[in-house]
Amino acid sequence: RDMDKVMPQLEAMAKAGLPLAVHGEVTDDDIDIFDREKRFIDTVLDPLRRRLPELRVVMEHITTADAVAYVGAADRNLGATITVHHLMITRNHILAGGIRPHYYCLPVAKRSTHRDALIAAAISGDARYFMGTDSAPHPESGKLSACGCAGIYTAPVAMGCLAQVFEQENSLDQLESFVSLNGARYYGLPEHPAKITLIRHDEPLAPMPAIEADGENVTVFDPMQPVYWSVAPDGDAIA
């Protein structure tokens, strides 16, 4: 929290052009969990970027309209990743009608107005926004407990879910940029030569069953809405 302690390292990163990838939340006990991201922008990130404007920063898995607006207003050196699940769920998925631990993640999902801002950013074609799944498989013993783990296992269904979101927004033409191109360009990496094929099915797909690992089940993300898309069998899903 005291940036002076790591300022020499941050200055070296800025000089080398090495991006700072950061989970942007302030987690003090007196800060509401739904306000952590905005507090981080206001009290940590913005002062840091004013002090060290040449530092390239990636805000990992943003969840708020505030973060979308902050990235959108930046003239340079700022990008943000957006997860699959934050494009599809809100805090109601976690809390309404009973506690649903498999939708609990950090940063926690917010209200629908924030989700809508994330969707608008993802489909915009703005190269500063790109996918970061933050896929987090936890065994059910870690999720279904009095103090469960944060994280949603989206990797096996990520591309199908993203295609569904982009189709609903009439923006399938922006899917490749969001998934494959924008992030690589921000990091100065070449375009990946591998390709996958997405298939649109006539009927919605059944939720993927849990995956067994080390004798325990790991629940795969179910967006609680119809998904018609999947990766073709000869294509590779996200690892």
Catalytic residues: 134
- Contact predicate 127/52, CB 8 Å: no
Q: CA 81 to CA 73: how far, in whole Å?
A: 16
Token output for 20? 């700072």
Q: CA 33 to CA 90: how far, in whole Å?
A: 14
- Contact predicate 106/86, CB 8 Å: no
Q: CA 169 to CA 167: how far, in whole Å?
A: 5
Q: CA 151 to CA 94: how far, in whole Å?
A: 12
Q: Which amino acid is at 169?
A: E
Token output for 230? 């999947």
